[in-house]
């Protein structure tokens, strides 16, 4: 059964990742793609696959490097017609035990104050697992075009000629063309 909050799940046990690393290939099945499309507000996800290398680094941390590719069905924001778009997102994340996150986040904050390129804080390793399916889903959603549009679609506002007598300055024009009141002499 698919978890609606996490429809594409493939947990990897951190303790079982060999010192030389671990490679994982995954492809979402039809049920997972349908649930992800509903979660992401998409018409459909035609295909979704990911490839990851998980490499242990120091103190229980794991580097996850890979790529997520998908073909998604969206709706053109101009024409409201169905369109298909490709997603191709690179992944390069560090996962760390939850106990190390505050300390590592402080290091990221210190880097930000120094004006250097700021690395992302690490993701937490939860219950000794890294869910590469969840990583892939998140990357897929981040790679979506928020304003999908057909290549030839252009927005052209509806232009209607204004009635010259019904615009906001018509009253001012009437004042301008009205004869000025005569000044009285005292």
66-77: pLDDT as tens digits: 999 999 999 998
Distance CA 112, CA 2 (A): 39
Per-residue confidence (pLDDT) for residue 103, from 0 to 100: 73
Helix (H) or strand (E) holding 30: helix 30-40
Q: Is the pLDDT of residue 39 over 90?
A: yes
Please give the mean pLDDT across all residues of the chain: 85
Share of the chain above pLDDT 70, in %: 73
Distance CA 21, CA 52 (A): 10
Per-residue confidence (pLDDT) for residue 139, from 0 to 100: 96
Task: Write out pLDDT tens, residues 78-114.
Answer: 889 999 999 999 999 999 998 888 776 666 555 555 5
Give the global pTM: 0.74
Q: Is the pLDDT of residue 26 over 90?
A: yes
Per-residue confidence (pLDDT) for residue 165, from 0 to 100: 63
DSSP 21: -
Per-residue confidence (pLDDT) for residue 160, from 0 to 100: 63
Per-residue confidence (pLDDT) for residue 1, from 0 to 100: 45
Residue 94 burial by CB count (10 A; 0-12/13-18/19+): exposed, middle or buried?
Answer: middle
Q: Is the pLDDT of residue 141 over 60?
A: yes
Runs of H (alpha helix) within 78-185: 101-113, 132-142, 170-177
Q: Is the pLDDT of residue 42 over 50?
A: yes
- Angstrom distances, CA of residue 182 to CA of 77, 83, 174, 175, 185: 59, 68, 17, 15, 9
User: In the chain, what are the domain boundaries?
Assistant: 11-142
């Amino acid at each position: 059964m698919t978890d609606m909050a996490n429809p594409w799940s493939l947990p990897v046990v951190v303790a079982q990742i060999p010192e030389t690393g671990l490679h994982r290939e995954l492809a979402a099945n039809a049920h997972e793609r349908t649930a992800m499309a509903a979660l992401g507000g998409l018409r459909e996800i035609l295909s979704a696959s990911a490839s990851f290398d998980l490499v242990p680094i120091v103190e229980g941390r794991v580097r996850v490097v890979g790529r997520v590719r998908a073909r998604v069905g969206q709706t053109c924001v101009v024409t409201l017609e169905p369109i298909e778009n490709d997603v191709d997102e690179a992944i390069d994340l560090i996962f760390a035990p939850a106990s190390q996150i505050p300390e590592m986040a402080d290091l990221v904050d210190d880097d930000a104050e120094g004006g250097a390129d700021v690395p992302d804080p690490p993701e937490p390793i939860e219950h000794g697992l890294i869910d590469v399916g969840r990583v892939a889903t998140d990357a897929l959603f981040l790679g979506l075009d928020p304003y999908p549009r057909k290549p030839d679609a252009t927005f052209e506002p509806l232009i209607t000629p204004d009635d010259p007598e019904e615009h906001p300055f018509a009253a001012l024009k009437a004042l301008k063309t009205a004869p000025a009141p005569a000044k009285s002499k005292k």
